[in-house]
Amino acid sequence: MKVEQKKQLKKIIDGQIEELQEEIEAMKIALYPKKGNAPSDKVAHLYFKQEQSINIQRLEEATKRLNRLKNAYLKIDTKDYGICKECEEPIPLPRLELMPESLYCVACIQELGI
Ligand SMILES: [Zn+2]
């Protein structure tokens, strides 16, 4: 991978990390409303609980992705970055631009079913 391409990818990762961090902050606020804003009646409370469990899942996913992105950022200057862990071929740049945290190429993901 060329130095210029890595620079570009770093920018993309940086942007995605920032976006995710904002999303995570917003999710946390939605998950844990201040006392005065908590639902008062039973139905509203049940509905809130249901929403909450979906949001907790989303928050977990987002947090995991954030960690993967941070890892990618740290690894981008190593020779392993952008190389598929399975077939050891370079992962195509358009895929890395979309998901900079990719560890596998599309073909291997399909084959491995992950
Ligand atoms: Zn592969």
pLDDT at 31 over 90: no
Cα 113 to ligand 1 centre (Å) = 12
pTM, whole model, 2 decimals?
A: 0.83
Q: How far apart are CA 48 and CA 67, in angstroms?
A: 28
Mean pLDDT over 23-36 rounds to 83
Cα 99 to ligand 1 centre (Å) = 15
Average pLDDT over all residues of the chain: 92
Cα 40 to ligand 1 centre (Å) = 52
- Tell me if 65 sits within 8 A of 20, measured CB to CB: yes
Cα 80 to ligand 1 centre (Å) = 13
Q: Tell me the pLDDT band of 51, cut-offs 50, 70 and 90.
A: confident
- Any idea what DSSP says for residue 36? G
Q: How far apart are CA 62 and CA 75, in angstroms?
A: 20
Query: How confident is the model at residue 20, as a pLDDT?
Result: 97
Cα 90 to ligand 1 centre (Å) = 8
